[in-house]
Amino acid sequence: MDVAITGSSGLIGTALATALRARGDVVIPVVRGDGRGVRWDPAAGTIDAEALEGVAAIVHLAGEGIGEKKWTPEQKQAIRDSRVDGTTLLANALAGLDRRPQVLVSGSAIGWYGNRGDEELTETSPPPPSGFLADVCTEWEAATAPAEAAGIRTVHLRTGIVLSRDGGALARMITPFKLGVGGRIGSGNQYMSWISIDDEVGAILHAIDTPSVHGAVNATAPNPATNREFTKALGHALHRPTLLPTPLTPLKLVYGRELVRNLLVDGQKVLPAQLLASGYEFQHPELAGALDAMDL
C-alpha cells in the first residue's frame, strides 16, 4: 500500500520507512522545503492535499522536539503549535479528499496522563486535571477531529520513551553510563514507560493493518521499569557501575526546572492494554532483553 509519513526523517519515521519498504509498501514522505515527497508547511498552513489522494494510510509523526531545549514560553508555544496546528492542517486536508485514506495514525505521547506515581494507566484512565504536556497532548489528539468526522479510522499513538541506539533518550544516556557516571535520577522510584524502536515500529504497522484498532493506543512495553531499575539494567548492559545518582543541578541549569521535573523526575506507569487486546505480540516485552538486542 501507499503510506504517507510526516516526520519521516526522525528516529521513528526513518525506522518505520525502512520497515514499510521491506514489506513492499510505498513510502511517501510529507516534507517541508524542496525535499522529495508531498509538500507542506504547517506554520504557513499550506499542504499539497491533491498529492495525498488515494494514499491508503497516513502516519503523522512531525513535531518540535520536547527534550532538546529549555522550556521558555517561546519554546513551549513552538512545541504546542507544531503538534496542534500541524495535525489540524493535515486532518482538514484528509477530510477534504475524494479518495480518503483508510487510517490515520497520529502521534501523541504518554505525557497525556501526567505524573501519576505508581498508578497503572491504560487507555481508559482519566486524564489529569492539567499540566503542560497533558494539555498539549489533549489538544494534539483533538486536532484529528475533522479526519475522524470524515470517517477515517484514527489512532492516537501515545508513545513512551523509545529506546534506540541510533537516537532519542537512550542514545543520550549511553555516553555518561559508559564513562561510569550514569546513575538514578532523583529518588529513582519514578516509572519510565519505555518501548524498543522495533516495537514502536511494530505497533504502528499493527495499527495500520488492524481495523479494530482505533482511538488511544499506548505504545509502551508491557513491563514499565522504575528509573532505579532502568539504571541498573542499562549499567549491566554496558558493564558499568551505577552507584552515584545523577546530579540534577547541572541539568536544571541547562534545561530548566520544568523540563527536568516533567521529563526526568516525574513518571507514568503506562500499560499497552489496547495493543495486547488486539493481538500485538511484543518483540521486546522485558527491558533487559530489549537492551541486549541493541548490542550496546
Rounded Cα distance, 257 and 249, in Å: 9
Task: Kindly indicate the confidence band of residue 102, based on its pLDDT and cuts at 50, 70 and 90.
Answer: very high
* Residue 99: all three cell numbers together: 479518495
User: Residue written as cell 507544531?
Assistant: 82
Q: Does residue 175 lie in a domain region?
A: no
Looking at the domain assignment, is residue 252 inside a domain? Answer: no
Q: What CATH number does residue 159 fall under?
A: 3.40.50.720
**So what's the pLDDT on residue 17?**
98
Per-residue confidence (pLDDT) for residue 174, from 0 to 100: 92
Residue 274 and residue 127 in contact, taking contact as beta carbons nearer than 8 Å: no
In a domain, 253, yes or no: no
**The predicted structure's pLDDT at residue 155:** 98
State residue 91's pLDDT score.
Answer: 98
Q: Give percent of the chain above pLDDT 90.
A: 92
- Residue 243 located in a structural domain: no
CB 269 within 8 A of CB 229: no
Q: Is the pLDDT of residue 34 over 80?
A: no
Name the DSSP class of 246. B
Which structural domain range is residue 215 located in? 2-164+193-222+268-283
The rounded percent of the chain whose pLDDT value lies above 70 is: 100
- pTM (2 decimals)? 0.96
Distances (CA, A) of 153 to 47, 60, 114, 212: 21, 13, 26, 9
Q: Which of 57, 47, 55, 51 is nearest to 88 (CA)?
A: 47
Query: Does the structure show a pLDDT above 90 at 27?
Result: yes
pLDDT of residue 26: 97
Tell me, what's the pLDDT at 139?
A: 97
Q: Is the dihedral of CA 213, 215, 220, 221 positive or negative?
A: negative
CA distance 106 to 215: 10
All three cell numbers of 96, joined, read 477534504
pLDDT of residue 292: 95
Residues 42, 45: Cα–Cα separation, whole Å:
5
Query: Residue 127: which pLDDT band, with cuts at 50, 70 and 90?
Result: confident
Q: What is the overall mean pLDDT for the chain? A: 95
Question: Is it the case that residue 68 has pLDDT exceeding 90?
Answer: no
Residue 250 lies inside a defined structural domain of this protein: no
User: By CB neighbour count within 10 A (0-12 exposed, 13-18 middle, 19+ buried), where does 154 fall?
Assistant: buried
Greatest alpha-carbon span in the chain: 60
Domain-embedded: residue 11: yes
> Got the DSSP string for 94-163?
HHT-SS--SEEEEEEEGGGG---TT-EE-TTSPPPS--HHHHHHHHHHHTTHHHHHTT-EEEEEEE-EEE
- For helices 73-95 and 132-142, give the axis angle rounded to 10 degrees: 20
* 255 to 74, 121, 134, 260: CA distances (angstroms): 14, 28, 19, 7
Answer whether residue 35 shows pLDDT above 90: no
Query: Which amino acid is present at 226?
Result: T
**Number of separate domains in the chain:** 1
Over residues 47-55, mean pLDDT: 96
Q: What is the per-residue pLDDT for 108?
A: 97
In a domain, 72, yes or no: yes
221 has pLDDT over 90: yes
DSSP sequence for 62-106? ----SSSS---HHHHHHHHHHHHHHHHHHHHHHHT-SS--SEEEE
Q: What do you get for the CA distance between the two ends of the chain, in Å?
A: 34
- pLDDT tens for 155-206 read 999 999 999 999 999 998 999 999 988 999 999 999 999 999 999 999 999 9
Question: Using CA atoms, how far apart are residues 189 and 230, in angstroms rounded to an integer?
Answer: 10
Per-residue confidence band for 77, with pLDDT thresholds at 50, 70 and 90: very high
Q: What is the mean pLDDT of residues 11-32?
A: 97
pLDDT of res. 296: 87
Looking only at the bridges linking them, the beta strands covering 215-219 and 153-159 are parallel
Helix, strand, coil: what percent of the chain each, to 5?
A: 40, 20, 40
C-alpha cell at 156: 492516537
Residue 58 lies in a domain: yes
